[in-house]
Chains A and B, each alone.
Chain A
């Protein structure tokens, strides 16, 4: 089990706990969608897994070499070209200079951006930027890949394509992926397992398995989406005054 969360809790300062008693375990090579309303602590949980923040209680087990991370906005460095952004990740990982170039080109090819390596981030469309960002997180070569609403800011057409793209790359690379989203359809489209996080405090309240049938059978997928949406709304309604 690359990731195990045990009774994990987090509060900022002395406010109300953002996360409370989160329990989950994620298997090697699994694609898990972490679903929850805005502000329920998804990013916080992911940051804790990435080591960017420390939990205030509980324990977690993550791979010792850390995790690759993909942010909501591509977070590419504007002073570097697409290829240089990927090369920087390789460099900070300690890959030698000559190998970096080859590896970066391979990764660009993997995300179908072979011809755009010399472009700068501002010359790329939102979808292309996210693909470069994906390639950069793959360049980190970590078994665990954490993604924080990476497609939330994209238009629907681009997002649908990137879903296909991500699924393909997941299958090709065998990564363990934790994908955070507030979009039920996205969670069903991508995850093998969908974990629902409640709000205030955040806690895993229910989970669903998504089978291969759901990938091809829109009706089945739609049904599951409906069920999960209903549960999510129930969770939100709890907070009505």
Chain B
């Protein structure tokens, strides 16, 4: 800072109180000395340039220096270590020989089965079929649920009317729809998709509604003051403001899609329904082959974890970081 003596405010409270106002407060006001004491009451900078300089000094003092992001290896190594520990524990338990090997296969047996399934191509087929269905079903659910959720969140009478029903649907296990779907659509892909929709759509709608509920009321006031109409308010202010809640609704919606899909695939086998992971699980049961069952379970789990790690986690992290909501979390 250059050497011009700026009469910047000093942290001195005004010496004037109600009792001392009568008469002498303004006694020696002519001198510039007294200005410093009362700086907060008068102009405290000497012009635009001075002000600009003061402000930029203060700005740099008050802003955090940008911290460079580094790869945090513990994020990768710790989960891998946890996995290794679990597999070792599994192997250890199996090697103790409490149970028959065909009832509780060890990690190596399952790995062997993986190899067999991979070699005859059924592993790839099952993963691909299920994944494709899960993703398509989920995306269609998003397209259906988003406008409905926004409408319900923004229009109070609609919300009152349908809110309880939507929350109720979320509690109903979507497997409950499988018999109905089979009766209506037979053993076709439509059955699988129907069950996925009934699982995912209510939870996405609910996520969006609760995201909207958590918006600070002030955002709407700002929108009104800035002159936003109803549509602009919904699309430019409410939707982006509700994005964190919406995203957790989407995550839950995906989880529901994936679970519903597995339920549907296990129950509805045959017809024109292709061979998915649920079908593989069912096949393992029919053959009473525990290694196939375990392989299918591990694959279902792996797909779930990978989608979370590769799709939702980065999006969520980016979203929260941009809004300054990530500091201090244990992610």
Contact = CB atoms under 8 A, between A and B. Distances in A.
A92 B35 contact: no
Would you call the interface of chain A mostly helix, strand, loop, or mixed?
A: helix
A218 B41 contact: yes
Nearest to B223: A92
Given A67-B225, A125-B58, A222-B38, 4 more contacts: A71-B221, A91-B236, A92-B226, A223-B25
B272 interface: no
A66 B111 CA distance: 71
In order of increasing CB-CB distance, the 3 nearest A-B pairs are: A219-B29, A122-B324, A218-B38
A226 interface: yes
Task: Indicate the size class of the contact surface on chain B.
Answer: 35 or more
A91 B311 CA distance: 32
Nearest to A71: B218
Interface stretch (A9-17, A33-41, A161-169, A173-181): A161-169
A135 interface: no
A116 B55 CA distance: 12
Contacts of A1: none
B51 A165 contact: yes
A240 interface: no
Contacts of A160: 8-9, 39-40, 44
Contacts of B16: 222-223, 225-226, 229
Contacts of A136: 226
A136 B39 CA distance: 28
B43 A164 contact: yes
A189 B226 contact: no
A219 B25 contact: yes
Contacts of B26: 219-220, 222-223
Nearest to A89: B226
A161 B54 contact: yes
Interface residues of A, number: 64
17 contacts: A50-B225, A52-B224, A75-B222, A78-B322, A78-B324, A92-B226, A92-B236, A112-B55, A140-B226, A161-B45, A167-B43, A189-B40, A218-B34, A218-B41, A225-B14, A226-B17, A229-B18
B59 A127 contact: yes
B11 interface: yes
Interface stretch (B136-144, B149-157, B162-170, B237-245): B237-245
A200 to B, nearest CB: 21
B28 interface: yes
Interface string B9-26: 101001111101100011
Nearest to B41: A221
A120 B48 CA distance: 26
A216 interface: yes
